[in-house]
């Protein structure tokens, strides 16, 4: 079934998509329906983050279902709030849509957003809707809260701190490579139905990522306050360099400690890509990268899903990766072997 957006009009569309949306957080005083949402954050600090997603720059609807796109768009906002050691509470969704899209398409998109919000305890409290001449434009703003003395910035990493990372790296990037390859192979077919058996994890990481609320919660439960933190959306190397630059420190990480999943390794081999380069530079991981004081070594080692990959050093010592054969290589945002990342062109403009 296809219902044209024009048949509902702007107001009809907004109420069709949002009438059933309910709010549940005590900090949400007024959600959708007035000129502005009203929030009340008593003694907490308020965190705000925005993402702009443009069709064909940030997503490709050939292989991304709108429901998954909605889910991922919301998750990426939550991830930014967790990276400040906060908890996301509200979300606004703004969309510019061309005639190519039907009311049913937008229903799918909202289903994905609502499902993510439900799972993470976030209220949808507003947005804006406009027609557009081409494609789909999405802007998501996420609002969260944190205790003032618990907010974790990028600029407080100290010499001797341990460098930690959650989950595994590079899998979402390999998922994207896989989708791009299948798209090229199947481009003449009407339906995009490639066989992804045995590669489900990579696809899941690319198409349906999760934000690491669980890591934030277990750090807090264990009374561990990171000295600095960032979420990994542009690759480990680039994010670690952000922390080092803003904290005015250097770092050493060890190639053999970078967590990589089996399917990622298999896929990198098939694609003839350097696995470490993939893990250092692949985007969309949504894992957390953080530093903790050395004194917390034992405590942090015991938390499941967290990997110690190196430590912070003085700024003068620079930023390095120690390879498996014990060679020190300068860490750069493009990785230490940029040649094999050439295929990433276009990705680089993504922010
Ligand atoms: P205004 O003219 O003040 O921009 P709108 O008519 O655009 O108001 O929006 C009416 C209400 O619906 C507001 O509460 C707004 O936040 C909400 N809203 C509009 N578009 C969306 C959307 N795409 N998703 C969620 N809420 C929306
Ligand atoms: Mg409006």
Predicted local confidence at residue 348, as pLDDT: 45
Mean pLDDT of the chain: 93
Summarize pLDDT for 191-207 with one digit per residue, the tens: 777 778 889 999 999 99
Q: What is the pLDDT of residue 190?
A: 72
- What pLDDT is stored for residue 188 in this prediction? 76
Kindly state if the Cβ of 141 falls inside 6 Å of ligand 1: no
pLDDT at 307: 98
DSSP 69-110: HHHHHHHHHHHHHHTTT-EEEEEEEEEEE-TTSBHHHHHHHH
Check pocket membership of 14 for ligand 1, CB cut-off 6 A. yes
350 pLDDT more than 60:
no
Round to whole Å and give the CA distance between 220 and 229.
14
Which atom belonging to ligand 1 lies closest to the Cα atom of 35?
A: 3
Identify which of 106, 112, 128, 141 to mutate to test ligand 1's pocket (most ligand atoms within 8 A of the CB).
Answer: 128
Please tell me if the CB atom of residue 156 comes closer than 6 angstroms to any atom of ligand 1: no
Kindly state if the Cβ of 21 falls inside 6 Å of ligand 1.
Answer: no
| Ligand 2 mean position, distance from CA 129 (Å) | 6
pLDDT the model gives residue 347:
45
| DSSP assignment of 123-134 | EEEEEEEEE-SS
Give the DSSP letter of residue 26.
Answer: T
pLDDT greater than 60 at residue 290? yes
Q: From the CB of 95, is ligand 1 less than 6 Å away?
A: yes
pLDDT, greater one: 349 or 226 = 226
Does 219 score more than 80 pLDDT?
yes
Average of pLDDT values for 280-299? 96
Provide mean pLDDT across the span 221-226.
Answer: 98
**DSSP label at residue 313:** E
CA of 163 to the centre of ligand 2 (A): 44
pLDDT digit string (tens) for 309-328? 999 999 999 999 999 999 99
Instruction: Answer whether 55's CB lies under 8 Å from 136's CB.
Output: yes
- Residues 214, 208: contact at Cβ < 8 Å? no
In this model, does residue 305 exceed pLDDT 70? yes
pLDDT tens, 2-49?
999 999 999 999 999 999 999 999 999 999 999 999 999 999 999 999
pLDDT at 334: 65
pLDDT digits (tens, 9 = 90+) for 115-172: 999 999 999 999 999 999 999 999 999 999 999 999 999 999 999 999 999 999 999 9
Q: Ligand 1 in contact with 31 (CB < 6 A)?
A: no
pLDDT in the model for residue 340 = 41
- Please name which of 56, 93, 70 lies closest in space to residue 349, comparing C-alpha atoms: 56
Write out the two tokens for 106.
Answer: 């937008």
For residue 346, pLDDT over 70 is answered with: no
49 by DSSP, 3-state: which? strand
- Cβ 21 vs Cβ 32: under 8 Å: yes
| Binding site membership of 19 for ligand 1 (Cβ less than 6 Å) | no
Q: What is the per-residue pLDDT across 59-104, written as a single tens digit (0 to 9) for each?
A: 999 889 999 999 999 999 999 999 999 999 999 999 999 999 999 9
Of 149-153, 181-185, 186-190, 224-228, least confident by mean pLDDT is: 186-190
- The distance between the two most distant Cα atoms of the chain, rounded to a whole number of Å, is 65
What CA–CA distances, in Å, run from 83 to 181, 247, 262, 304, 305?
Answer: 32, 16, 26, 18, 16
């Amino acid at each position: 079934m296809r219902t044209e957006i024009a048949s509902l009009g702007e107001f009809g569309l907004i109420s069709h998509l949002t009438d059933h949306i309910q709010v549940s957080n005590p900090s949400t005083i007024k959600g959708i329906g007035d000129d502005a949402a009203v929030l009340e954050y008593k003694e907490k600090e308020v965190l705000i983050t925005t993402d702009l997603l443009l069709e064909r720059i940030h997503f490709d609807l050939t292989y991304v279902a709108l429901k998954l796109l909605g889910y991922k768009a919301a998750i990426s906002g939550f991830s930014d709030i967790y990276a400040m050691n906060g908890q996301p509470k509200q979300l606004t969704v703004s969309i510019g849509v061309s005639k190519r899209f039907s009311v049913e398409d937008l229903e799918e998109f909202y289903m994905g957003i609502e499902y993510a919000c439900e799972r993470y305890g976030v209220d949808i409290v507003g947005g804006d809707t406009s027609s557009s001449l081409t494609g789909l434009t999405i802007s998501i703003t996420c609002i969260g809260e944190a205790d003032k003395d618990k907010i974790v910035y990028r600029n407080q990493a100290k010499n001797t701190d341990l460098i930690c990372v959650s989950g595994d790296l590079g899998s979402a990037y390999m998922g994207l490579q896989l989708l791009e390859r299948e798209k090229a192979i199947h481009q003449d077919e009407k339906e995009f139905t490639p066989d992804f058996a045995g590669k489900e994890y990579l696809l899941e990481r690319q198409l349906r990522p999760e934000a690491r609320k669980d890591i934030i919660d277990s750090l807090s439960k264990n009374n561990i306050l990171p000295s600095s933190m960032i979420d990994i959306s542009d690759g480990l190397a680039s994010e670690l360099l952000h922390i080092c630059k803003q904290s005015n420190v250097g770092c050493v990480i060890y190639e053999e400690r970078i967590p990589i999943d089996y399917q990622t390794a298999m896929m990198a081999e098939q694609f003839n890509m350097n696995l470490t380069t993939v893990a250092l530079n692949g985007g969309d991981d949504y894992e957390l990268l953080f530093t903790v004081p050395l004194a917390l070594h034992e405590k942090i080692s015991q938390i499941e899903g967290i990997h110690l990959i190196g430590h912070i050093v003085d700024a003068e010592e620079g930023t390095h990766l120690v390879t498996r054969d014990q060679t020190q290589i300068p860490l750069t945002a493009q990785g230490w072997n940029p040649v094999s990342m050439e295929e990433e062109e276009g990705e680089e403009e993504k922010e």
